[in-house]
A and B are shown apart, each in its own frame.
Chain A
Amino acid sequence: MSLFHDVALQRLFGGLIVLLIVATVAGRLIARRAGDERALTTVRNLNARINAWWVMSVIFAISVLIGPIGAVILFGLISFLALREFITLAPTRPADHRALLWSFFLITPLQYLLVGIHWYGLFSILIPVYAFLFLALRIAISGDTTHFLERVSAIQWALMICVYSLSYAPALLGLGIRGHGTPGPTLLLFLVIVVQGSDVLQYIFGKLFGRRKIAPHLSPNKTVEGFLGGVAAATLLGALLWWATPFTIWQAGLQALIIALTGFAGGLVMSAVKRDRGVKDFGTIIAGHGGILDRADSLTFAAPIFFHVTRFFYGA
C-alpha cells in the first residue's frame, strides 16, 4: 500500500496544511496592524518563521511520503548539518582534524545506515560505545594533549546530540508495537508534530501572556506563562491526535506531555551551549529561526526519550 493512500497520513498532512494557511493569513493580518518599529521587527520575524515552516513542512512531507528511506536520508542530512554547526563552535584543535573527518564522513552515515536497516542492537550503541572510545584514542594518538579532555568531550557530545539523538526520530519507523505491527510514519509524525507544535505554542503563549522569565540567564525569551500554556496546549494537541497512533487518548496525551517536557529541556540545554560559546544562534540556514540546531534542539532530547518510553511500554 502506498503511503499516499494511508488515511491517517493524509489527515495529518491535511491538518498541517490547514494550520499553515491559517498561520499565513494571521501573520499577514498582524503585519497590517503593527504600529511601531519594534512591533514591526517582531512581525517580520514571525512571517519569516511562517514562510520557513512552509518550506520545512513540504520537505518533511515529501521525505516521509517517499517511504522509510526518505526519512532516513532527511534526518541524516539534518544530523550532518547540525554536527557542522556544533563543531564550528566546539574548541577543537588542528590535531583533531582526522577525528572530525571520521565523525562527519564515517560515523554519521554509518549510524543512519544502521537505523535504515533497523539494526537496533548496533545503532543504539555505535556512538556511545564504539565511536566514543575510538575518537578518544584517535585524538590521543595525534599527540596534542592540550585541553585533551575538553576536546574529546566536545566532539563526543556533538555526536551524541546531533547524530545519535536525532537518529532516534527515523528509528521510530522500525519500531514494532504490540498488537499494531510496525506503525512507522505515524509515530514519527506524532513526535515531530508534538515537539515542533510545543515549540510554536510556547512561543505564541509567551508572546501573548508572557510576564515572568523562566530561565533569564539561559534563554531570556522563555517565560513561565509560555512554558505552562505551551506544554498544556501541546499535551492537548497530542491527545487529540490519538487516532493516528497506537495509543489511547489518555496515553497519547501523556506521551505528548513527555515529549513537550523533554523538548523544553533540550531547548534549555542547547541554549546553555550557545551562551557558553557566546553566540545567539547556531547558524543562519533557516530564515527567521537561525540554524538547524536552533530548530531541532528540542527534538534532540525528545526523540530518544520518546523512542525508549514507547519501546519499553508498548514494544513488541
Chain B
Amino acid sequence: MIASLLATAAQIVAGSTVRWAGCGPTDEQRIYIANHSSHLDFIVLWSYLPPWLRRRTRPVAARDYWTRDGIRRYLAAHVFNAVLIDRVAAAGTPSGQLGRQAVDQMVEALAGQHSLILFPEGTRGAGEDLASFRSGLFHLCQARPEVEVVPVYLDNLNRILPKGHLLPVPMLSRITFGTPLRLQPGETKDAFLERARQSVRALKEAA
C-alpha cells in the first residue's frame, strides 16, 4: 500500500520514459547497476520496475543516510527492504573490513533470491561523467558469477533534484536498461569494473 503510493508519487515527479533496450523485466536474479547523481535515483529506478519485480528487488543503500530519522528507518526496513551498508567506519575498524562486510551483506541478500539495485560509483556525482566504480561490485560478482549484471542509465534526474536541494522541479526523465553482462573467468578487477562502467555510459550516449 505505502509502497505503491510511494512508487506512484516517484513516477509522477520523475515522468520517466522507460526503455528496456537490452533485456526485459523478467524474474531472473539480477544486479541492476546505475549512475548516481540524485537522491531520487534509487526510488525512481525502483518505482519503474513492475510491482511484482519491485517486491523482490532490494536497493543497496548507505546506513548513515537511511537511519537518520524514524521515517527513513521505517521506509528502508519495511517498504524498500533495503540492504543497509556502512560507509562510515566505527573508530578502529580498518576500511578494508568495511568493504568486506558490505559484500557479505549483498551476497547474503542474493542468497535470499533477491535482485539488487547498486550504485557502484558509491556516491553521487555531478551528473556529467561517471566516476570510477568501487570494487565491491567485482567482489560481489566473484562470489556469485552466475548472477547477471544489468546496466541502467538514469537520465535527467540530477536536473530534477540536484545535489543540495530539497524540492524537485518536475522535469521529464529517461530510464534505459541495457544488455546484461557477467564477470568472465579470469577477468581482472580493473578490466571488469571498467567494462561495467562503460556499459552504463554507453546507454547515456545511446539515449
Give chain A's interface residues, CB within 8 Å of chain B. Answer: 84-85, 87-88, 92, 94, 97, 100-101, 104-105, 283-284
Contact = CB atoms under 8 A, between A and B. Distances in A.
9 contacts: A88-B172, A92-B159, A94-B158, A94-B162, A97-B162, A100-B169, A104-B169, A104-B170, A283-B172
Contacts of B165: 97
The 4 closest A-B pairs by CB, nearest first: A94-B162, A100-B169, A88-B172, A88-B171
A84 B17 contact: no
Given A84-B170, A87-B169, A284-B17, 8 more contacts: A84-B15, A84-B172, A87-B171, A88-B156, A94-B159, A97-B169, A101-B169, A283-B172
Interface of B: 15, 17, 156, 158-159, 162-163, 165, 167, 169-172
Contacts of B17: 284
A85 B169 CA distance: 12
A84 B159 contact: no
Contacts of B169: 87, 97, 100-101, 104
A87 B159 CA distance: 10
A255 to B, nearest CB: 35
A105 B168 CA distance: 11
Contacts of A284: 17
Contacts of B172: 84-85, 88, 283
B186 to A, nearest CB: 42
Contacts of A94: 158-159, 162-163
Contact of A101 (B15, B158, B159, B167): B167
Contacts of B162: 94, 97
B51 to A, nearest CB: 21
A85 B162 CA distance: 18
Contacts of A92: 159
B36 to A, nearest CB: 16
Contacts of B159: 92, 94
A296 to B, nearest CB: 16
A290 B169 CA distance: 21
Of listed A94, A104, A105, residue having the most chain B CB within 10 A = A94
Contacts of B156: 88
B38 to A, nearest CB: 11
A142 B172 CA distance: 23
Nearest to B159: A92
Contacts of A88: 156, 171-172
